[in-house]
Amino acid sequence: MSPRLWAAGAFVVLLVALIGFAAATVPWHRAPAPRADQLAALGQLPADQVARARAFHAELRPASYGGMFLGLLVALALGLTPLGARLIELAGRPFGDHWLARAVLGGLAVALVAELISLPLAAWRHTVVVRYGISTQTWGGWSADLLKSFGVGAVLGAIVLAGFFTVTHFAPRWWWAFGAAGAAGLVVLLSFVLPVVVEPVFNRFTPMADGPLRTELLALAARDGVPVRDVLVADASRRTRAVNAYVSGLGPTRRIVVYDTMLTEATPGEVVSVAAHELGHAKDRDVLTGTVLGALGAAIAVVALYLLGSWQWLLRLAGVDSIAEPRAIGLLLAVTTVAGLIAGPAQSFVSRRVEARADTHALTLTGDAATFEAMQRRLGTVNLSDPDPPAWEHAMFASHPSTVQRMAAARAWARGDR
């Protein structure tokens, strides 16, 4: 049997595994959040605040969509014309056109070009979030964060590029099998490593100070039966006024992180409500589910790239002989950018369902729908989120249910409508 036939078989098996795993783990049923309750909640929010949030998002839209469009355009220009291949040849020239130099330096050059072209739009976005008082960062702080994320991206990118093209170089017929296993393994590894290695590059984390709140949060976790290693406070205030909390890491690296802004902006009851939502993620193993879905998705992507590599028309456009050579990095960027845009809405949908389940968990654990609703109102107000965004935008991009959906879910829950 030829490698191509094996790859086609592996593609089908992995796809079935992804669909099966998603079917079994994604909470397809959503607790009710009747539209009538949503509209009632919307009517009770201060009108000037709603107007301000909508003005904020209207001002962000051109930069956001412009950035997305420009990113796609650059990827297509580098991948569907010989431009990308030229750039990679140039980057490898000082090193005698060695394949490893082309892979790592060429790949980083392609990524840098894409980043630099979209930089003005990112700067434009920054001016808007500063003007609306969400970001507290000066241009110096903003640039420092940008350089740090370039640095982290360059290290990770170099590892991935060197690993991937070493495999394609030494196993030209079976690279898709090693590549798929490697990509899946990398996703799992990053789930463990990112929270402990990369997050501290951007924020300082300190254990929450002893006191009634910490005691209450740990008691809440104990009552929920969720082992929590620690409750950490992130110094987010040096960057933003936005409030947030999240749970990250798996097993021994799992922790609940609360932004310091949350402690100054919200009441202790609201912090408990947010923590109860985060415990829901831990209890339902949402990080693990996301990791497995991501690992399967990454493996499928590698096999799909291999299969796509037999499409001569595509290779001719990019001016390359094979999709597995370093000169095809621009083509890989184009294909993955398009695939990412197509997969985005499905990922957002799954994320919203998972978030709605964590909301229900918070309501059940605290039994306090009123504080939950107050917390949602607070999150929406401080973060200047559109409480009831346009339906298409919500469907395409929203990772969480909207503020009015979450408030409506709390009202339905309080009525016993579950």
Which residues contact Zn ion by CB under 5 A?
355, 358
Which CB sits closer to Zn ion, 199 or 355?
355
Closest separation between CB of residue 351 and Zn ion, Å?
9
286 counts as catalytic: no
Which CB sits closer to Zn ion, 78 or 266?
266
Which CB sits closer to Zn ion, 161 or 292?
292
Which CB sits closer to Zn ion, 168 or 289?
289
Which CB sits closer to Zn ion, 325 or 373?
373
Of the listed 224, 270, 278, 286, which one is catalytic?
Answer: 278
**H-type alpha helices, 367-400:** 369-383, 391-397
Could you give the CA distance from residue 185 to residue 160 in angstroms, rounded to a whole number?
A: 12
Closest separation between CB of residue 220 and Zn ion, Å?
16
Dihedral angle at the C-alpha atoms of 157, 160, 164, 169, nearest 10 degrees?
Answer: 70
The 10 Å Cβ neighbour count of residue 46 is 10
Closest separation between CB of residue 365 and Zn ion, Å?
14
What's the DSSP call for residue 285? T
Q: At what angle do helices 286-308 and 3-25 cross, to 10 degrees?
A: 160
Task: State the DSSP H helix or E strand holding residue 259, giving kind and residue range, or none if neither.
Answer: strand 255-259
Task: State the DSSP H helix or E strand holding residue 295, giving kind and residue range, or none if neither.
Answer: helix 286-308
Question: CA gyration radius for the chain?
Answer: 23
Closest separation between CB of residue 355 and Zn ion, Å?
5
DSSP-derived 3-state class of residue 281? helix
Closest separation between CB of residue 284 and Zn ion, Å?
10
What's the DSSP call for residue 251? G
Closest separation between CB of residue 277 and Zn ion, Å?
5
Of the listed 359, 373, 386, 388, which one is catalytic?
Answer: 359
Dihedral angle at the C-alpha atoms of 119, 121, 122, 125, nearest 10 degrees?
Answer: 160
Which CB sits closer to Zn ion, 224 or 355?
355
DSSP-assigned states of every residue in 109-154? HHHHHHHHHHHHHHHHHHHHHHHTTSB---HHHHHHHHHHHHHHHH
The residue with tokens 């917390």 is 375
Could you give the CA distance from residue 242 to residue 265 in angstroms, rounded to a whole number?
A: 9
Q: Is 373 annotated as a binding residue?
A: no
- CA angle centred on 38, ends 37 and 41, rounded to 5°: 85
Sheet containing 255-259, strands listed edge to edge, beginning at the edge strand earlier in sequence: 205-207, 231-234, 255-259, 245-248
- List CB contacts of 61: < 8 A, sequence separation 6 or more: none
> Which residues, in sequence order, are bridge partners of residue 256?
231, 247
Closest separation between CB of residue 361 and Zn ion, Å?
10
The residue with tokens 């607070």 is 378
Task: State the DSSP H helix or E strand holding residue 67, giving kind and residue range, or none if neither.
Answer: helix 47-79
- Sign of the CA dihedral 51, 54, 135, 142? negative
Which CB sits closer to Zn ion, 355 or 386?
355
Q: Is 216 annotated as a binding residue?
A: no
359 counts as catalytic: yes
Q: Is 169 annotated as a binding residue?
A: no
Write out the binding residues.
277, 281, 355
Write out the binding residues for Zn(2+).
277, 281, 355
Catalytic residue IDs: 278, 359
